[in-house]
């Protein structure tokens, strides 16, 4: 998740997600926007540069509004599927029957058509959230809902990565290739990325977003859509490793999450409980294993 979350307060059944009237024929907002800031220093000059766009993205399930996230308007179908899986709203990709991306004057609506079982679960969650004014963890309103252990054991790290030397080499290659596979970040300097890497550390899939959680959700959605076996590799992210990112990686069946920055203590404890390998400070040929 992006770290900014709003839950709709409209009545059950309304599907506009709080982002205005329909404007389905309008194109999606651009992911990059040109601006002309004034640079201060030796020379005062105005030059064109690109900044990342973030837009409200409403997730609607069978016409029911669930949450509004701030995200980069790219790979939104992947985001819809990945978010739904990692938030426990879908049991499998097969529960998502269809998704349509609709533009609105104030954002984008992702209209998901899901199975009747999933719709019943969503309605129950809406009833439990009635009367709330805000959220810290989207879609949760009590502590019991925060920790969602994987339904299946997290697979072990592939044997080819058992030796420290092989693991460091794979992690180093992953971060090196990830840095070169971020076109939005290279243009703006303000975008996170998540990659799925093979056993040798080669980057196979990449998704970018202004939110580190969104980037990981997009990656997981893309892999689920194409039936990628997440156990035969690991995830690499250009951020710190939070509890939610560890939980999302574990729920997706990834054996390891590698972060360029630090983990939180809750992330470490969650990784240990799930059996997920967690690496932090992966940079310059070094890594620190926390779980």
Which of the residues are catalytic? 135
Q: Indicate the DSSP class of residue 207.
A: E
Greatest distance between any 2 Cα atoms in the chain:
63
CB-based contact 259:282 (threshold 8 Å):
yes
Cα distances (angstroms) measured from residue 239 to each of 215, 219, 262, 267: 11, 15, 8, 13
Main-chain phi, psi angles of 206, to 5 degrees: -140, 140
- Residue 286: partners with Cβ closer than 8 Å, 6 or more residues away: 168
Q: Which residues contact 176 (CB under 8 A, 6 or more apart)?
A: none
Reduced to 3 states (helix: H, G, I; strand: E, B; else coil), residue 180 is helix
* 3-state class percentages of the chain: helix first, strand second, coil last, to nearest 5: 30, 25, 40
In the structure encoding, which two tokens stand for residue 28, read together?
């999606």
Residues 6+ apart with CB under 8 A from 226: none
51 Cβ contact partners less than 8 Å away, ≥ 6 residues apart: 32, 33, 35, 188, 190
């Amino acid at each position: 998740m992006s770290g900014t979350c709003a839950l709709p307060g409209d009545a059950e059944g309304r599907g506009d997600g709080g982002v205005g009237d329909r404007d389905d024929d309008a194109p999606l907002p651009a992911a990059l926007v040109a601006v002309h800031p004034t640079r201060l220093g030796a020379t005062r000059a105005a030059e064109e540069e690109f900044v990342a766009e973030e837009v409200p993205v409403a997730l609607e399930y069978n016409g029911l509004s669930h949450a509004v996230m701030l995200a980069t308007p790219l790979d939104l179908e992947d985001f819809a599927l990945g978010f739904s899986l990692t938030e426990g709203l879908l049991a499998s990709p097969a529960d998502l029957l269809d998704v349509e991306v609709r533009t609105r004057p104030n954002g984008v609506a992702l209209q998901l058509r899901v199975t009747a079982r999933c719709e019943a679960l969503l309605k129950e969650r809406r009833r439990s959230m009635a009367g709330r004014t805000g959220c810290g963890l989207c879609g949760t309103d009590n502590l019991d809902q925060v920790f969602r252990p994987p339904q299946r054991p997290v697979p072990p790290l592939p044997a080819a990565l058992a030796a420290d030397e092989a693991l460091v080499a794979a992690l180093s290659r992953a971060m090196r290739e990830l840095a070169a596979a971020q076109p939005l970040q290279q243009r703006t300097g303000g975008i996170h990325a998540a990659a799925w890497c093979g056993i040798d550390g080669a980057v196979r899939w990449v998704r970018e977003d202004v939110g580190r959680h969104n980037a990981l959700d997009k990656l997981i959605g893309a892999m689920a859509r194409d039936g990628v076996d997440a156990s035969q590799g690991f995830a690499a992210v250009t951020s710190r490793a939070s509890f939610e990112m560890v939980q999302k990686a574990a729920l997706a069946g990834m054996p390891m999450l590698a972060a360029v920055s630090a983990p939180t203590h809750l992330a470490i404890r969650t990784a240990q409980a799930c059996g997920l390998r967690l690496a932090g400070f992966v940079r310059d040929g070094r890594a620190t294993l926390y779980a």
